[in-house]
Structure 1
Amino acid sequence: MLEQITKLVEQISSSEVAKGGITSELTGAITKETGDSIINGLKDSVSAGDISGLTNLLSGQASNIASNPIVTGMIGNLVSGLVGKLGLSEGVAGSFANGVVPQVISAIVAKIQGGESGFDLSSIMGSLGQGGAGDLLGSLLGGKEGLGGAIDKLKGLF
């Protein structure tokens, strides 16, 4: 699941790099930093217990993706990484991050809503949790095992 998100990040960020006037030598590093920022932002939401915020965002219930707190956190982390690790100017990094992160999240939401293979909310949430609580969360959100599987996983946590 995370591999599919990473591929989506690669597609969107490489086109934004070309538009943003960023040198092509940095494309790979920028794409990696972008993917890390987005995936870590999603994982951080799970770790922080903001499950409802994350499910609202990924299910398309968030009204303005660009101003969503989870997304703004991802943008901030990406800007910091692009400036600190890759030496981009704050303006270029900010413009890139504000363009690419909402596009990636919107694309993920569209794929979930469109029922595209491999893009379902329970799989994404399960992969973000990396087992344990993440598997429980996926089960509660309608995974293959249903509530019975969720209860079994909950028992396994204690």
Structure 2
Amino acid sequence: MIDQITKLIEQVSSKEISQAGISTDLAGAVTKETGDSIINGFKDSISGGDLGALTSLLGGGTSNLMSNPMVMGMITNLVGSLTSKLGLGEGIAKNFAGSVIPGIIESLVSKSKGGESGFQITDLISSFGGGDSKGLLDSLTGGKEGLGGAMNALKGLF
């Protein structure tokens, strides 16, 4: 799953990098920071127990991504990384992040809603939770422990 997300990030980022006027010398580093921001955003949501935000987002809640707190957190983190680590100007970083993150999320949602293998919510949780996520997935899909068990499993993942 993470490999599939990484490939998607690379595809969308390369287009946005050229449109934003970012040097090709920085393309690899910008793509890495973009991926880190998105993946860490998902991990933070899962480990923080905010599955509602994640399921809402992947369930098609993309009508106004810029008002979604998880998406805004990803954008803020990416802007910070691009300016502090790579020395990009704040305006360029904001324009790039504000374009690339929603583009990637929209692609993820499309793949998830389309039933594409590897892009389902359970795949996402499993990828970020590793082997310890089985109890969480069982709880979310109707296992014995229910939501309380899912929350306990989440606490143990990270």
- 1:66-105 matches, cutoff 5 A: 66-105=66-105
AA aligned to 1:118 is: G
Higher RCO, Cα 8 Å, sep 6+: 2
2:2, 2:95 → 1: CA distance? 25
Asked whether 1:147 is paired with 2:143, we answer: yes
Paired residues, number: 151
Sequence identity percentage: 51
Q: What is the match of residue 138 of structure 1?
A: 137
1:57 matched residue in structure 2: 57
**8 Å contact kept, 1:38–1:74:** yes
What is the deviation of 1:83?
Answer: 0.2
The corresponding residue for 2:7 is 7
After superposing the two structures, state which structure 1 stretch, 28-37 or 54-63, moved more. 54-63
RMSD: 2.2
Contact 2:108–2:119 (CA<8 Å) still a contact in 1? yes
CA distance, structure 2, for counterparts of residue 49 and residue 75 of structure 1: 20
CA contact (8 A) 1:121 1:141 kept: no
Deviation readout 1:80-130 (Å, 9 max, x if unpaired): 000000000000000000000011111001000001121111111221223
